[in-house]
Amino acid sequence: MKFINDLGKYRAIVISVALFIFLDAGVLVLNFYISSQIADDATNVNLAGRQRMLSQKATKALFDYRQEYLSGGSGEAPFREMLAAVSLFDKTLQAFDQGGETLNASGQPIYLAAVTGAESRATVAQSLEIWQPILRDFHALEKLHADPSSYAVFLNQLVDSARANNLGLLKLMNDLTNQLETVARNKSETLRMIQAAAITLAILNFFLILFHFIGQLRRSDAVADEARRETQEILSTVREGLLLLDDQLVIGSQYSGSIPEIFGEQEVGGTSFRDLLQSLVSEGDMNTTEEYIKLLLNHEVKENLIGSLNPLSDVEVSVPSRSGGLQVKHLSFRFNRAIEAGRIRHILVTVLDITETVRLRDELEQAQARQSGGLQMGVLKELLKLDQTALAGFLSETEGALLAINEILREKVEDMSGYRDKVNGSYRIMHKIKGDAGTLGLPHIVDAAHNFEDGLEALRNNSGLKGGDFLPLTLSLNAFLELIAELKEMVALFPQRKAPVAVVAPSRLEADKIERLARRIAQEQGKSVELDFDLTGQERLSAEQLKQVQECLIQLVRNAVVHGIEPEVERLSAGKGAVGRIAVSLRMEEEGVRIGVRDDGRGIDLKRLRDRALAKGLYSEQEVETLPRTRLLSLIFEPGFSTEDSVHEHAGRGVGMDLVRAGVNRLKGRLRIANKARQACEISFLIPNESLMEPSLAEVV
């Protein structure tokens, strides 16, 4: 069985041929068998036929003998003839009955099998019945031969008996002959049919072999053709250059179509790898490469452990181009073992033209450089429009603020709340930078600050805040510092630039800046506003205080425009004028200076505050309902608490008000909110007298 299984695809054909031989041999054996059977049957039929003749011969001899005997002759010849016939007949009949020997036509002894078949046996039995008494009489006649007295009488009786039975016996022998003939005919008929069937099968098998295997051969030829064609197609379409090297580093005859394209040479099959590369890489590299390939051919060396040594993983080459000149290309070679039956037969070389990849990479790098140049140009244009002194002050201040954020990051903290403090502290500073940049009209810096705030926002929402999470922020901070440093360098190059002034604190509140900011924000939000300023009494504030107040006012005005003033349509439908009014005031009161921003907008919606407080999880539902109005209103100064749903540049992070509170705290002031729902809102703070400068002193300043 194993042998048959080992034959593989030839199994079917071997089995079919074996079957064909087997059938043919069967037919041959059958032939022998049939021939011998037919010969045996022919003998039987002949012998049965001879019995017919013998019965008549014995009867005729008996008659002749009586004739001669009665006419006084010796009758010797007919008598002997009669006895011979009787003896042969008897012997043959016994043989037909029991099986036994008799003599054939030429007098040779021959073995006869007993007849089979009911009919033949009955015929033989019937014959014996008639024959036995006749035979006895013949034997008796033979014995009486010497006694003439009773002999004639007995002879006459025998003749009568023979005459009486002669026809019956002849008929029986004839029947036997016919029956044996029929048996022989039937048998040979059957045998012939079997023979015919076997031959038919053999022929069918032959045709089967013929058609099946011709078909199979055709199919396998077609498959081989297809495979060859596909290989050819793969080799001609594959982008990579593919070729095989033998152990002498000679290139095989089959290689991909891109090989000539890559190397600018048409026929490479059969040439050495060295010839292909010689003009492209240095002699040293070529030697190293050959040594490397030989390492790969050495089965002792582990392929996986030498991949990093491939000396041709990225090479710049100059190859002849179609136009006849030289073309610079970047090629990447890979070398792999081609293992067949456990032996390294070839080295498969894959060549990739990475020129395009390299070009794209270079272009990308150049584009990045250009883009940053473009950004700088944009910022530069912004800067040129600005007052140089103010700009230098802003840049120094911003740098200081960014370094202050770095200090906040650097402070050692122990727990989560420490991380939160870092986020909130950074937020306040960054928000101020954004406000200042917005005021100065530096959208690029506003963008940068906004992005930074996005990062902070992500941290604020991170419930499992860890130190490593600050990394993107630290890197943004670094990038921001680099941007500021670059801008400082640019500003230094401006021709009309005056001597650098470190930090210029305004000695008066800058109403025009606040107004510009308010108008810009309103415009962006599709609103219109009008501002009124009453800033009498600001001379009572120190430069530092004025700076703080200015910052607070920026945040408060921003808040009024974003949260307070409604869009025009809404204002009109509420029976208000289309233009929102914001009043910025600084006035002396008994206890100190009150600074406030009042708007005629929608006021603070207490219900939304409650919802927000609930959503932020600051209070339970019950607590929120019973919270005093003042406590509820003060929520707007909490870090991260904002009622604006979407975050945009100007508000929505809840940082501005947080900043106001921090500023007011520094001024040792007290905050107050006067809110009339749907009508107006004023947020103000009082700087107490003890924090103010003496009027006389103020005048000196």
Partner 1 sequence: MKRMMIVDDSTVIRRRIERTHGLDNYVVVGSASDGLQAVEVARQRTPDLITIDLTMPNMDGIDAIPILAEVCPGARILVVSALADKATAIRALSRGAHGFLCKPFTDDELRDALHELVSD
Partner 2 sequence: MKSETLSQNLDQEAIEVFIDSLAHFYRQIGVDEAQIGVPYLLDSNKTIISDFTGIIGVSGKRKGCVYYTCPKAMLSYILLAMGEKEVSSSYLCDLVGEIANTIAGNARKAFGSDFMISVPVVVQGKPERIQLPESTRSVVIPAKWKFYESIIVVALE
Q: Interface with partner 1 by CB under 8 A: which residues?
A: 284, 287-288, 291-292, 294-295, 298, 300-302, 304-306, 308-311
* Amino acid at residue number 358: V
Tell me which of partner 1, partner 2, none is bound by residue 304, counting a contact when its beta carbon lies within the kind-specific cut-off of 5 to 8 angstroms. partner 1
Q: d(Cα 223, Cα 230) in Å, to the nearest integer?
A: 10
Let me know if 215 is exposed, middle or buried by CB neighbors in 10 A (0-12, 13-18, 19+): exposed
Q: Is 478 in the site for partner 2 (CB under 8 A)?
A: yes
- Interface with partner 2 (CB under 8 A), residue from 65, 96, 131, 470: 470
Q: What are phi and psi of 385, to 5 degrees?
A: -75, -15
Q: Is 474 in the site for partner 2 (CB under 8 A)?
A: yes
- Least distance (Å) from partner 2 to the CB of residue 570? 35
- Interface with partner 2 (CB under 8 A), residue from 406, 528, 675, 691: 406
Which CA distances in Å does 388 have to 435, 502, 511, 610?
Answer: 19, 12, 19, 47
Let me know if 696 is exposed, middle or buried by CB neighbors in 10 A (0-12, 13-18, 19+): exposed
Q: d(Cα 351, Cα 243) in Å, to the nearest integer?
A: 9
Q: Is 53 in the site for partner 2 (CB under 8 A)?
A: no
Q: d(Cα 154, Cα 584) in Å, to the nearest integer?
A: 181
Of 121-129, 364-372, 562-570, 667-675: span binding partner 2 (CB under 8 A):
364-372
Which is closer to partner 1, CB of 300 or CB of 489? 300
Tell me which of partner 1, partner 2, none is bound by residue 117, counting a contact when its beta carbon lies within the kind-specific cut-off of 5 to 8 angstroms. none
Which is closer to partner 1, CB of 295 or CB of 680? 295
Of 158-166, 272-280, 480-488, 662-670: span binding partner 2 (CB under 8 A):
480-488
- Interface with partner 2 (CB under 8 A), residue from 138, 255, 419, 637: 419
| Token pair listed for 488 | 């400082």
Which is closer to partner 1, CB of 300 or CB of 645? 300
Q: In what order do the strands lie in the sheet with 315-320?
A: 251-255, 241-245, 343-353, 326-340, 315-320
- Least distance (Å) from partner 2 to the CB of residue 556? 28
- Least distance (Å) from partner 2 to the CB of residue 410? 4
Q: d(Cα 116, Cα 119) in Å, to the nearest integer?
A: 8
Q: d(Cα 182, Cα 160) in Å, to the nearest integer?
A: 34
Q: Is 37 in the site for partner 2 (CB under 8 A)?
A: no
Which is closer to partner 1, CB of 335 or CB of 637? 335
Tell me which of partner 2, partner 1, none is bound by residue 291, counting a contact when its beta carbon lies within the kind-specific cut-off of 5 to 8 angstroms. partner 1
Contacts with partner 2, 437-466, as mask; x by CB under 8 A: -------x--xx--x--------------x
Tell me which of partner 1, partner 2, none is bound by residue 301, counting a contact when its beta carbon lies within the kind-specific cut-off of 5 to 8 angstroms. partner 1
Tell me which of partner 2, partner 1, none is bound by residue 302, counting a contact when its beta carbon lies within the kind-specific cut-off of 5 to 8 angstroms. partner 1
**Tokens 């703070």 found at:** 685
Residues 6+ apart with CB under 8 A from 355: 328, 329, 330, 331
| Token pair listed for 79 | 């008598």
- Least distance (Å) from partner 1 to the CB of residue 306? 5
Which is closer to partner 2, CB of 480 or CB of 685? 480
Tell me which of partner 1, partner 2, none is bound by residue 118, counting a contact when its beta carbon lies within the kind-specific cut-off of 5 to 8 angstroms. none
The angle formed by the CA atoms of residues 506, 508 and 513, to the nearest 5 degrees, is 75
Q: Is 67 in the site for partner 2 (CB under 8 A)?
A: no
The angle formed by the CA atoms of residues 119, 120 and 122, to the nearest 5 degrees, is 65
SS3 content of the chain, % helix, strand, coil (to 5): 65, 15, 20
Q: Which residues 261-290 are close enough to bind partner 2 by CB under 8 A? A: none
- Least distance (Å) from partner 2 to the CB of residue 607? 39
- Least distance (Å) from partner 1 to the CB of residue 299? 10
Question: DSSP string covering 581-607, please?
Answer: EEEEEEEE-SSEEEEEEEE-S----HH
Q: d(Cα 33, Cα 194) in Å, to the nearest integer?
A: 12
- Interface with partner 2 (CB under 8 A), residue from 39, 146, 305, 471: 471
Q: Is 482 in the site for partner 2 (CB under 8 A)?
A: yes
Which is closer to partner 1, CB of 300 or CB of 590? 300
Label residues 649-688 b or e (16+ Cβ within 10 Å = b). Answer: bbbbbbbbbbbbbbbbeebebebebeeeeeebbbbbbbbe
Q: d(Cα 374, Cα 546) in Å, to the nearest integer?
A: 37
Which is closer to partner 1, CB of 288 or CB of 643? 288
- Interface with partner 2 (CB under 8 A), residue from 132, 368, 507, 536: 368
- Least distance (Å) from partner 2 to the CB of residue 507? 33
DSSP 3-state of 679: coil
- Interface with partner 2 (CB under 8 A), residue from 159, 199, 238, 413: 413
Q: Is 354 in the site for partner 2 (CB under 8 A)?
A: no
Tell me which of partner 2, partner 1, none is bound by residue 438, counting a contact when its beta carbon lies within the kind-specific cut-off of 5 to 8 angstroms. none
- Least distance (Å) from partner 1 to the CB of residue 333? 13
- Interface with partner 2 (CB under 8 A), residue from 12, 140, 375, 572: 375
Q: d(Cα 187, Cα 167) in Å, to the nearest integer?
A: 30
| Token pair listed for 226 | 């297809």
576 Cα distance to chain centroid: 66
Q: Is 477 in the site for partner 2 (CB under 8 A)?
A: yes
- Interface with partner 2 (CB under 8 A), residue from 286, 481, 614, 673: 481
Q: What are phi and psi of 299, to 5 degrees?
A: -70, -15
DSSP 3-state of 501: coil
- Interface with partner 2 (CB under 8 A), residue from 156, 200, 371, 507: 371
- Interface with partner 2 (CB under 8 A), residue from 9, 343, 410, 498: 410
The residues pairing with 55 across neighbouring beta strands, listed in sequence order, are none
Stretch (H or E) spanning 17: helix 11-70
Which is closer to partner 2, CB of 84 or CB of 465? 465
Sign of CA pseudo-dihedral 463, 469, 474, 479:
negative
Tell me which of partner 1, partner 2, none is bound by residue 355, counting a contact when its beta carbon lies within the kind-specific cut-off of 5 to 8 angstroms. none
The angle formed by the CA atoms of residues 447, 451 and 456, to the nearest 5 degrees, is 145
Of 205-213, 277-285, 328-336, 468-476: span binding partner 2 (CB under 8 A):
468-476
Q: Are strands 315-320 and 100-103 parallel, antiparallel or unpaired?
A: unpaired
* Contact by Cβ (8 Å): 476, 451: yes
Question: DSSP string covering 548-562, please?
Answer: HHHHHHHHHHHHIII
- Least distance (Å) from partner 2 to the CB of residue 491? 18
- Least distance (Å) from partner 2 to the CB of residue 369? 9
* Contact by Cβ (8 Å): 488, 377: no
Of 171-179, 407-415, 637-645, 688-696: span binding partner 2 (CB under 8 A):
407-415
Q: Which residues bind partner 2 (CB under 8 A)?
A: 368, 371-372, 375, 406, 409-410, 412-413, 419, 422, 444, 447-448, 451, 466-468, 470-472, 474-483
